Amino acid sequence: MRLRGAIAPRNFVYKRKMSLAQSILEGNRLALARLLTQAENDAQEGRAILAELFQHTGKAHLIGVTGAPGTGKSSLVNQLALYYRKNVDKKVAIVAVDPSSPFTGGAVLGDRVRMRDLSGDPGIFIRSMASRGSLGGIAQKTASLVQIFDAAGYEIILIETVGAGQSEVDVARLAHTTIVVEAPGLGDDIQAIKAGILEIADVLVINKADRPGVENTERALRSTLELAHPTKRIFRHHGKDMSISAPITDSTLWIPPIVKTIATEGKGVDELAAAIAKHVEHLQQTGDALMDRFLENIQRQKYEEMIEKVVNRDISPYEAVTALLNGNRK
Ligand SMILES: Nc1nc2c(ncn2[C@@H]2O[C@H](COP(=O)(O)OP(=O)(O)O)[C@@H](O)[C@H]2O)c(=O)[nH]1
Ligand SMILES: [Mg+2]
Q: Tell me, in angstroms, the distance from the centre of ligand 1 to residue 220's CA.
A: 21
| Pairs from 194-197 (Cβ < 8 Å, separation ≥ 24) | 194/164, 195/68, 195/164, 195/165, 195/168, 196/169, 197/66, 197/67, 197/164, 197/168, 197/169, 197/172
Q: Is the CB of 191 under 6 A from ligand 1?
A: no
- In angstroms, the CA 189 to CA 205 distance is 16
Q: Is the CB of 266 under 6 A from ligand 1?
A: no
Q: Tell me, in angstroms, the distance from the centre of ligand 2 to residue 5's CA.
A: 45
Residue predicted with more confidence, 133 or 211: 211
Q: Tell me, in angstroms, the distance from the centre of ligand 1 to residue 262's CA.
A: 9
Q: At 330, is the pLDDT very low, low, confident or very high (cuts 50, 70, 90)? A: very low
- In angstroms, the CA 270 to CA 9 distance is 57
CA atoms within 13 A of residue 266's CA, in its CB half-sphere: 7
- In angstroms, the CA 204 to CA 225 distance is 10
Nearest CA to ligand 1 atom 13: 72
Residue predicted with more confidence, 157 or 108: 157
Q: Is the CB of 161 under 6 A from ligand 1?
A: no
- What's residue 53's pLDDT? 92
Nearest CA to ligand 1 atom 10: 72
Q: What is the pLDDT of residues 119-157, one digit of tens each?
A: 678 899 988 876 555 555 777 888 899 999 999 999 999
- What's residue 102's pLDDT? 40
- In angstroms, the CA 135 to CA 127 distance is 18
| Under 8 Å between Cβ of 172 and 64 | yes
Radius of gyration of the chain (CA): 23
Contacts of 192 (CB under 8 A, 6+ apart): 67, 68, 180, 182, 198, 201, 204
Say which ligand is closest to the CA of 68: 1
- What's residue 60's pLDDT? 95
Say which ligand is closest to the CA of 105: 2
Q: What is the DSSP letter of 61?
A: E
Among candidate residues 320, 290, 327, the one with its CA nearest the CA of residue 305: 320
Q: Tell me, in angstroms, the distance from the centre of ligand 2 to residue 70's CA.
A: 7
Residue 195 pLDDT > 60: no
Q: Tell me, in angstroms, the distance from the centre of ligand 2 to residue 75's CA.
A: 7
Residue 107 pLDDT > 50: no
Q: Is the CB of 264 under 6 A from ligand 1?
A: yes
Q: Out of 13-22, 68-77, 200-209, give the one with best mean pLDDT.
A: 200-209
Atom of ligand 1 nearest to the CA of 111: 16
Global pTM value: 0.78
The overall average pLDDT reported for the chain is: 78
- What's residue 68's pLDDT? 83
264, 265, 267, 272: residue to mutate for ligand 1 pocket, most atoms within 8 A of CB? 264
Say which ligand is closest to the CA of 130: 2
Residue predicted with more confidence, 14 or 168: 168
Among candidate residues 126, 279, 264, 267, the one with its CA nearest the CA of residue 201: 279
Q: At 28, is the pLDDT very low, low, confident or very high (cuts 50, 70, 90)? A: very high
Nearest CA to ligand 1 atom 26: 208
Contacts of 248 (CB under 8 A, 6+ apart): 231, 233
Q: At 116, is the pLDDT very low, low, confident or very high (cuts 50, 70, 90)? A: low
The helix/strand count (H/E) of the chain reads as 13, 9
Residue 239 pLDDT > 70: no
- What's residue 45's pLDDT? 83
